Each structure stands twice: as structure tokens, then as C-alpha cells.
A = this chain, B = another copy of it.
């Protein structure tokens, strides 16, 4: 790890002192799974305190573990998306790409994935076979084997067909030096394409919105894109995140709080598909709060920003990349949006759960 244990403990202690991490509900709500503020309260106060240890403390997408001769990245995610198959992908592809991406955001090359299934009694075996094939294809595309697994079955009426938990291990590149704490005033914020497409595609696929919009999930493995970015940028890349649940706004808030810097976003610079933007307007949801499953956020040194933007745009998964904002010293821990109308507003983490079960 690039930080000492003392530094990590210092970060934990600072987090604990933050008053807004002390509000806790009595019962689990869907918002606790939405990846926004409620999720953070639950994770920081309940799991963070119970499991308290230096490996967990960074609370990133993947933990980093020192092993002989290197650093190991280790990540896990459960997938409970509904419907199981949607335009642009299915739960299996999503599960593989999600874990590959969490490893990639740690600067790691994936070594192996695991897949644990909770299946509903009565689920058609041919549908399971199709999902397994889709996982296999996604794993092959990302160049990583599914090395181990587990299967449990629960009685009819549970698990909506199936849930999948994927975990992954990878080796962190020796030249990757990624940590939110490395963000500095002047740094630039890049995104690798249009925001919010996955979340909106799922909502529309469910059919209960009565919207007819042609939107596909952006689910994709980002490990190759990250390789090229790290090859070109090395130390100039401060940190990488994939803005999944809670969207770009939530990820930037997390980064701003961890690094104790301000982040400012230029609304007009954020790439949005007109279909996603339109669906969000109708639903009254901010597209910056909507999940992506094949996009990354990179905070980079200012002098490298244009070159790294070109690297992203040269990859098929980064054609619509953009520099969307920058890092300021003030106000620490906050994200501001410069609006198209010349104003400025605070962009908070996602609150509540307007988009349940999207991953």
C-alpha cells in the first residue's frame, strides 16, 4: 500500500468525527442498497466499525493486500438486478464486468474471478445456462478465468430467479499509485463517456415507466482502457473510480470527502445521451445520480489531462470521453456544479432510492 497504517487510521478517525455519518435508521430500507448517502451511513457506521481494520479503511471498490513481491487487489459485489436480461446485457455479464472494473479501478490486472449463485427453486436451467454462457463470454473478453464458485438454492418465491455474487483478485501494477488522497487543487476530472445509461436502461426495461426509449446498458470491462491510461499517465493519474450505484455525483462526493478537497463540475461538459437525459427529466432524476457500468472517472494532474483525454478517446469504450471539471482547495468535501445558466449549485450524494435493484 502506498500509505502507512497511521495515515489510514487517521482517515478512519476523521470519517468517524463527521456528524452526518452518525444518523442510522432502525430498519433496512431500499435506500441502504442504493449506493448513496444511506448506504454510506450503513457501511461506515455499522460494517466499518464492526470490521475495523487498515485494509478495509480506504473503503474503495477493491481492497489492497500486500503479498510477497506485490500488491493484491481484492473485490466483491452482489448483483440483484431486475430484470435479469436487459438491453445491452444481463445479470451475468454485469456481474463479471462489475468485478473486473472494481479491480481495474485499483490499478490491478485481474487474475481470477469467483461466482457464487443463489438460485430460486424452479428457475429454468436453460436460462441459467444462458447466463453462465454470458458470464463466460464476459470473462473471456476481459481475459480473466472464473476460477471458483458456489451454488445455493432457496425456496420458490425468493431471490427473483437468481442473485450472483462475484469476487475477484488481481495484481496491482507496480507503477499504479492510485489513492483519492493524492488529489490536489488544479487536478482535472475526466469521464470516459456518457453518464447514466445503465440505470436508465434498466428502469426502462422494467416497463413500468411507460417510456419507449431506445437505451442500452453500457456494461463493459474497463481493464484494457485502464491499462492504456496507466501506460500513458503513470503517476499523473491520482485515482480512478467506476461511477456505478449513486452515479458520478456520489463518486465525486466520496472522493472530495476522502481527499478533503472541493470538486467543481461543468454541467455542459458532462456527456449525456439525449435519451438518458430525456428519461431523467421525465422521472425527475438527476443523471449525475444514475448508475454506469462501463464508464470510469479519472482524476489526473492538470498537465497530463489533454493527453490522457486523447488516450481515452482512442479506445472504443472511451470515444465520448470528456474533461468535466476540476479540483479546488475549497470547499473541502463538497461537489459544486457550474450550471448551463451560469449559476452554481451543490451536488450531493444520492439520497433515497429512486432506482431500486439496478445492479
Contacts and interface: CB of A to CB of B under 8 A. Distances in A.
B171 A169 contact: no
Given A50-B129, A119-B28, A125-B24, A63 B150 contact: no
Contacts of A26: 124-126
Contacts of A160: 154, 158
A126 B54 CA distance: 25
Interface string A95-134: 0000000000000000110111111111111101100110
What is the copy number of this chain in the assembly?
A: 2
Given A56-B147, A78-B117, A123 B27 contact: yes
Interface of A is mostly: mixed
Contact of A149 (B29, B76, B154): B76
A121 B29 contact: yes
Nearest to A43: B151
Contact of A132 (B24, B50, B79, B353): B50
A63 B145 CA distance: 11
Given A27-B125, A69-B69, A171-B68, A165 B76 contact: yes
Q: Chain A, interface size: which category? A: 35 or more
A198 to B, nearest CB: 15
A285 interface: no
Interface in A1-49: 24-34, 39, 42-43, 46-47
Contact of A357 (B75, B79, B154, B356): B154
Contacts of A115: 47, 51, 76
Nearest to A117: B78
B132 A33 contact: no
Contacts of A111: 65, 67, 72
Contact of A119 (B33, B53, B114, B128): B33
Nearest to A129: B46
Contact of A33 (B124, B128, B153): B153
Interface in A48-88: 50-56, 62-63, 65, 67-70, 72, 74-80
A157 interface: yes
Contact of A47 (B62, B132, B356): B132
A308 interface: no
B74 A114 contact: yes
A167 interface: yes
A304 interface: no
A150 B133 CA distance: 25
A56 to B, nearest CB: 5
16 contacts: A26-B125, A28-B120, A29-B121, A30-B153, A32-B153, A50-B135, A51-B136, A51-B146, A55-B112, A63-B114, A69-B70, A72-B111, A78-B152, A79-B152, A116-B167, A153-B353
Nearest first, the 5 A-B pairs at minimum CB distance are A33-B153, A165-B165, A63-B147, A167-B167, A76-B114
Interface of A: 24-34, 39, 42-43, 46-47, 50-56, 62-63, 65, 67-70, 72, 74-80, 111-112, 114-126, 128-129, 132-133, 135-136, 139, 145-155, 157-160, 163, 165, 167, 169, 171, 353, 356-357, 359
